[in-house]
Structure 1
Amino acid sequence: MKILVLFSVVVALVAQAFGLGYHEDVGIPEAARIREAETRQLSSRIIGGMPSGYGDNPYLAGLIITLVSNQMSICSGTLVSQKKVLTAAQCWSDGYQQGRKVEVVLGETRLFYSYRREVTGISVHPSYTSKPISNDLAMLTLRYNVNYYSYLKPVTLPSPSDVNNTFAGIGAKVAGYGKTADWSPVGPQTDQQSVIVPVIDSWYECYYGLPQRPAYNTDKILCTSGANGFGTCGGDLGGPLVAPEHFNGTDVLIGVTSIQSNMGCQNGFATGYMRVTAYLSWIQRNL
């Protein structure tokens, strides 16, 4: 009996140290937090961010995920065509928890008290792995086409001329439904949040600045700095990183949020993204 108790304690400590996947560590508690906040007409989002004006991120999608365990989790995503939303594969299956149903919120500032769009299909990248994280992409298919408006339209994808562009050194914009500070009370704003973050130039700084080590693949990972406490946090997984006004005055999608810290979001860790230019052919095939 003592051995069994000791084993249970060790398992619990190991789980606490290494995490139990995105949904257990972040998505489920953040879903409960945001739902409670919206009930009180409050919300919680991007670390160091500012509330976005209505329509500033017309491509931003909020994902409400019902897991096989019947728990509820959240992620973010990006509208890329009339019926397609790009997100992280971890949002559907993080190696511990498996999704059963996904609903998408578009063109809204709130998640749980907004119109939800039905998802009829999910295509996970065939080479996706959660340990280590690699090829962390999934494409959601909506049941009905989205009608475009100024506040609701797809993001611009990189052009062929951008395939070799590292975007190093630019101020990129990240948007999402995650929280605004690690342990702060939920703030009074209800808008989506966004923040400008610098794209890291050095692969060494990127790789060793991440809270989790991804598969060592320099051409498929893009990083932004976590300096000054700015970056993504719980609920932002799967959301867009864009080069603002990069093509004809429009935002261009350059990354999908994938690698975040589960030890707090204001501790200076870099954030890792799936580099969109490395996956253009897969994205185009799944549009």
Structure 2
Amino acid sequence: MKFLILFSVVVGLVAQAFGLGYHEDVGIPEAARIRQAETRQMSSRIIGGMPANYKDNPYLAGLIITLVSNQMSICSGTLVSQKKVLTAAQCWSDGYQQGRKIEVVLGETQLFYSYRREVTGISVHPGYTSKPLSNDLAMLTLRYAVNNYNYMSPVTLPFESDVNNTFAGIGAKVSGFGKTSDWSQVGPKTDQQSVIVPVIDSWYECYYGLPQRPAYNTDKILCTSGANGFGTCGGDLGGPLVAPEYFNGTDVLIGVTSIQSNMGCQNGFSTGYMRVTAYLSWIKRNL
């Protein structure tokens, strides 16, 4: 009986994880929600997080995506050089909806009522597949380089010596433009959100806390715990997971938000990230 119950739960989790794709399930409704929120000077963001001063995450990028269907969707991303933004490939094509145009917002707390930067090139990882999800990375090229300011500057990438570092057990910081709870209503402000989450040191714990489990390459995935309902949610896809003040007081990018459960953001499920150290060569070639 226990096996049958567990099997049913697993099948349900996997089935719900695919849904209708990121944009239909999350990005499009969240874009509409945030646009309405900003119109009313309201918002919704990261689960369990606190409003972040934009100077705390100068590398955080908000992505406004116009789909081929002419619907609007949103994602998050990370400024990794003056002209490059790293994000999840799902943000461009999730297997159901295809992007037509992406605009980037940097150094702002709002998305739809802020200055948008034009993207002139999109390089999707050559090994990317949406089903099964694999190599979920894309690099965006901005038309104009970003000048460094204290509120807008590239994140620090890991060193080659960090390739075998699992970062297990550290308190990592995740930030984004997603919502703050499964049932959150629009709130009083439109702020970025950040929260500290523990990097899981047990692959078993990570693996069985994620949807679509059989497809994952464990060497390329990093997980954080969803305990206490803290973690990422709708709109945070593609955003940064950093080791805070890891090198000379600066944040170091260790993950790109990729794998989120469709069974709710506050149910304790793990969040999966593309492990940056596993893709360091590809990232550097595309800077």
Would the TM-score normalized by the shorter structure come out above 0.5? yes
Decide whether aligned partners of structure 1 residues 4 and 98 sit closer, same or farther in structure 2, where only a CA change above 3 A counts.
Answer: farther
Decide whether aligned partners of structure 1 residues 142 and 10 sit closer, same or farther in structure 2, where only a CA change above 3 A counts.
Answer: same
Decide whether aligned partners of structure 1 residues 39 and 8 sit closer, same or farther in structure 2, where only a CA change above 3 A counts.
Answer: farther
Aligned-pair CA distance for 1:184: 2.1
Structure 2 residue matching 1:64: 3-state secondary structure: strand
Structure 2 residue matching 1:29: 3-state secondary structure: helix
| Deviating more after overlay: 245-254 vs 208-217 | 208-217
1:31-90 CA distance string (max 9 Å, x none): 000000000001110000000123100000000000000000000000000100000000
**Equivalent pairs: percent with the same residue?**
91
| Deviating more after overlay: 63-72 vs 187-196 | 187-196
Unaligned runs of 5+ in 1: none
User: Is the 1:133–1:214 Cα contact (8 Å) retained in structure 2?
Assistant: no
Q: Distance in 2 between matches of 1:176 and 1:14?
A: 25
User: Is the 1:211–1:270 Cα contact (8 Å) retained in structure 2?
Assistant: no
Q: Distance in 2 between matches of 1:166 and 1:109?
A: 31
Structure 2 residue matching 1:11: 3-state secondary structure: helix
Aligned-pair CA distance for 1:187: 1.6
Structure 1 residue matching 2:153: 3-state secondary structure: coil
Structure 2 residue matching 1:209: 3-state secondary structure: coil
Aligned to 2:131: 131
Decide whether aligned partners of structure 1 residues 273 and 41 sit closer, same or farther in structure 2, where only a CA change above 3 A counts.
Answer: same
User: Is the 1:212–1:261 Cα contact (8 Å) retained in structure 2?
Assistant: no
Q: Distance in 2 between matches of 1:89 and 1:63?
A: 12
TM-score, normalised via structure 1 length: 0.93
Decide whether aligned partners of structure 1 residues 201 and 2 sit closer, same or farther in structure 2, where only a CA change above 3 A counts.
Answer: closer
User: Is the 1:212–1:260 Cα contact (8 Å) retained in structure 2?
Assistant: no
1:221-263 CA distance string (max 9 Å, x none): 0000001000000000000000000001000000000001122
Decide whether aligned partners of structure 1 residues 174 and 11 sit closer, same or farther in structure 2, where only a CA change above 3 A counts.
Answer: closer
Aligned to 2:223: 223
User: Is the 1:172–1:243 Cα contact (8 Å) retained in structure 2?
Assistant: yes
User: Is the 2:91–2:237 Cα contact (8 Å) retained in structure 1?
Assistant: yes
Q: Distance in 1 between matches of 2:10 and 2:229?
A: 33
Decide whether aligned partners of structure 1 residues 261 and 15 sit closer, same or farther in structure 2, where only a CA change above 3 A counts.
Answer: closer
Decide whether aligned partners of structure 1 residues 24 and 168 sit closer, same or farther in structure 2, where only a CA change above 3 A counts.
Answer: same
Aligned-pair CA distance for 1:110: 0.3
Aligned-pair CA distance for 1:216: 3.0
Structure 1 residue matching 2:62: 3-state secondary structure: strand
Q: Distance in 2 between matches of 1:4 and 1:216?
A: 24
User: Is the 1:132–1:213 Cα contact (8 Å) retained in structure 2?
Assistant: no
User: Is the 2:44–2:184 Cα contact (8 Å) retained in structure 1?
Assistant: no
Structure 1 residue matching 2:5: 3-state secondary structure: helix
Q: Which runs of 4+ in 1 moved over 4 A?
A: 1-18
1:137-178 CA distance string (max 9 Å, x none): 000000000011000000000011111100000000000000
Q: How does 1:262-277 map to 2 (within 5 A)?
A: 262-277=262-277
Matched positions, count:
287
Aligned-pair CA distance for 1:132: 1.3
Aligned-pair CA distance for 1:5: 31
